[in-house]
Amino acid sequence: MKQVDIVGRRKIWFSISSALIVLIIAASFVLGVKLDIQFSGGTIITYTFTGQADKASFEKTVEDSLGQPVTLREQYDVNTGLPNYIITLTNKSGITPDQQIAVNEALQTQFPDNNVNAASISNVDPTIGRDFFLKSIVAVVAASILMIIYIAFRFRKMNGWSAGVIAVMALLHDLIIAYGAFVICGFPLNDSFIAVMLTILGYSINNTIIVYDRVRENRRLLPVKTTYKDLVNLSVNQSMTRSINTTVSTVIAVGCVCAMSLIYHVNSILTFSLPLLVGMFAGFFSSMFISGPLWAFWQERKRAQKSAS
């Protein structure tokens, strides 16, 4: 099988990653980052109705009645099979009984034949969501530190500290790409965002560890004068088929979930499965084309500095 010069083309891989990260940063400012009500606080109102009710007209009626912007999303009731409209208000003060009555009367006037009713109203305190978000960040930081220590110990024969730091850098790359999927698709950051980040954190490191394992074994088997470029190229090419097979099988499963959520309009699953799908592709890319070449570049620089001194 012909060897692919992964390390020799590292500028291409690094440029692709850098361009994506810059695009995501720009999109965060241009498109804005949406926070779910769990993090921003507000009120959630679920409306049931019969027949067909135009979403745009429904949303505008609620906005005109309350005098503030709202977010409307459609959700199907599992028990009845009928659609419900979920109205989200980011007003932290909630909705007063008078406002609730006014909205109901406006909707019943606008849709007299649809039997519109407010099935449930709940106020959301952002404190719980923010505490959960902060604890998740602490978990990510703690996991990253433990990964560096573990990799440094396990791969100490290949300068493990540098390998650990680069593996975590590749993980951060994957997390940024997955975050970009939320921003570009217009998904709000919610508990699905936290779940995606933690899932990718565990999934993405797997392929990187496989590459590192091949590097360690090949360093023991190959001649001492073997360059870091040749060492990493051989190791990545040996790991490529296995990583492709693993990624494809996982992507097919998650892709099916993503497709079904699109077909049946299950937004809660879509906001998890689609960014996770993007994160898996990013994880494969970083493991094959970022972590290995970056480690080789690091070791070459260290060797050059020692030679110069």
Q: Which amino acid is at 36?
A: D
170 vs 96, more confident: 170
Q: Could you give the angle at the alpha carbon of 140 between the alpha carbons of 277 and 168, nearest 5°?
A: 75
pLDDT at 266: 78
Is the pLDDT higher at 108 or at 83? Answer: 108
Q: What is the pLDDT of residue 308?
A: 73
Identify the pLDDT of residue 115: 87
Residue 232 CA to residue 294 CA, distance in Å, equals 10
Sign of CA dihedral 187, 189, 190, 192: positive
279-289 average pLDDT score: 93
Q: Name the percent of the chain lying above pLDDT 70.
A: 95
Q: Does the structure show a pLDDT above 80 at 228?
A: yes
* Mean pLDDT, residues 256-276 taken together: 87
pLDDT top residue among 233 and 198: 233
Region 42-124: CATH code: 3.30.70.380
Left, alpha or beta for 265 (phi > 0: left; psi -120 to 50: alpha)?
left
Model confidence band, residue 286 (pLDDT cutoffs 50, 70, 90): very high
Homologous superfamily of the 7-36+128-308 domain (CATH): Multidrug efflux transporter AcrB transmembrane domain (1.20.1640.10)
Q: What is residue 18's predicted lDDT score, i.e. its pLDDT?
A: 95
Q: Examine the pLDDT at 235 and tell me if it is beyond 70.
A: yes
Tell me the residue type at 235.
S
Q: 229-239 as b/e, with b when 16 or more CB fall inside 10 Å?
A: bbbbbbbbbbb
pTM of this structure: 0.82
CB-count burial class (<10 Å; 0-12, 13-18, 19+) for 306: exposed
| Domain positions in the chain | 7-36+128-308, 42-124
Q: Which residues touch 95 (CB under 8 Å, ≥6 apart)?
A: 43, 45, 66, 89, 103, 121, 123
Question: Is residue 62 within 8 Å of 103, Cβ to Cβ?
Answer: yes
Given a cut of 80, whether residue 172 has pLDDT beyond it is yes
**Residue 169 CB neighbours (<10 A):** 14
Would you say residue 64 has pLDDT above 60?
A: yes
**What backbone torsions phi and psi does residue 70 show, to the nearest 5 degrees?**
-135, 165
